[in-house]
């Protein structure tokens, strides 16, 4: 039996979930989205994701044709209809059907679709042994082109960096901004540990204000670990004691090498392990 997809205000069969070729989401990447996890049948940080979706839409002047409350309900119904207990939700809003021109105001109504399915970004072995990454030559979009807080459907910037990673036989690449500071990985936030202090780039450096990022910062502070948001350079990544990424699909994953430089002892570090374990317990907790 195929998936049930939420589209145009109702659940439809996967085979019937179709969007017009004139939709500006397809023609121009004109839309916003969220990736959301489901743990033990509980949707993780749904309200935070809904809030970020509406803020992203506001910045690009996209009207979401549904209230936050009704959209929340639609996400819950989609998860229930697909019996997703541990999985992934893709919630997307496109500009809607328009013309072949750029003018977004000819699009009458935004289109919402919701997919609830299973996903695993990285194999379990990578979590145990750690992951290798490279530095991308593709720079993160300048913040004046599009604010990094906007999670838009136009992901070409990240995709080009992802291609660089795959060309170098590693799963991820670290992206830098126009000033040479660390922004983010192609789909995850960056953290390093130096002298038992955790550092992560500020949002202004060109990184998404990640929801998993915020949860991990909270968990680190509960462990009495110091967390500092500051600009990081490639040098900082090369000489750090530990290095890890966070993201909705990735959760917390240790980095053991960047650009051929081994991090620490070449294994995920102790703070990385603690935070991964604590995040796992936090995300999989039974209570609402």
Q: Could you list the active site residues? A: 151
Task: Locate the DSSP E strands across the chain.
Answer: 4-7, 10-13, 31-39, 42-43, 87-94, 111-117, 131-135, 172-176, 182-185, 189-194, 197-200, 227-229, 242-247, 251-258, 261-262
Question: What tokens were used for 15?
Answer: 């085979």
| CA proximity to 1, closest of 16, 13, 10 | 13
Going from the C-alpha of 53 to that of each of 50, 121, 217, the distances in angstroms are 5, 22, 21
Question: What tokens were used for 253?
Answer: 């994953």
- Angle 111-114-117 from CA coordinates, rounded to 5°: 155
Residues 6 or more apart whose CB falls under 8 angstroms from that of 17 comprise 5, 7, 113
Task: Specify the 3-state DSSP secondary structure of 132.
Answer: strand
| CA proximity to 209, closest of 232, 229, 227, 194 | 229
Place of tokens 């979401």: 64
């Amino acid at each position: 039996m195929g998936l049930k997809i939420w589209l145009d205000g109702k659940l439809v069969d996967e085979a019937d979930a179709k969007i017009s070729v004139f939709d500006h989401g397809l023609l121009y990447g004109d839309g916003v989205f969220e990736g959301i996890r489901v743990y033990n049948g509980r949707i993780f940080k749904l309200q935070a994701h809904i809030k970020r979706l509406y803020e992203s839409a506001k910045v690009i002047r996209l009207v979401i044709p549904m209230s936050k409350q009704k959209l929340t309900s639609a996400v819950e119904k989609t998860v229930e209809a697909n019996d997703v207990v541990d999985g992934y939700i893709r919630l997307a809003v496109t500009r809607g059907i328009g013309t072949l021109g750029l003018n977004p105001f000819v699009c009458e109504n935004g289109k919402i679709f919701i997919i609830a399915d299973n996903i695993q970004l990285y194999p379990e072995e990578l979590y145990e042994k750690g992951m290798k990454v490279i530095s991308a030559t593709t720079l993160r979009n300048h913040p004046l082109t599009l604010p990094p807080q906007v999670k838009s459907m136009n992901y070409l910037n990240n995709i080009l960096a992802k291609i660089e990673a795959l060309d170098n036989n590693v799963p991820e690449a670290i992206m830098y901004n126009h000033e040479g500071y660390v922004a983010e990985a192609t789909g995850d936030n960056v953290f390093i540990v130096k002298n038992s202090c955790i550092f992560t780039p500020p949002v202004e450096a060109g990184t998404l204000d990640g929801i998993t990022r915020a949860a991990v910062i909270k968990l680190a502070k509960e462990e009495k670990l110091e967390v500092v948001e500051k600009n990081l350079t490639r040098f900082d990544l090369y000489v750090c004691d530990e290095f890890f990424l966070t993201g909705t699909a990735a959760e917390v994953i240790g980095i053991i090498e960047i650009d051929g430089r081994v991090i620490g002892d070449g294994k995920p570090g102790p703070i990385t392990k603690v935070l991964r374990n604590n995040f796992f317990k936090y995300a999989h907790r039974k209570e609402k």
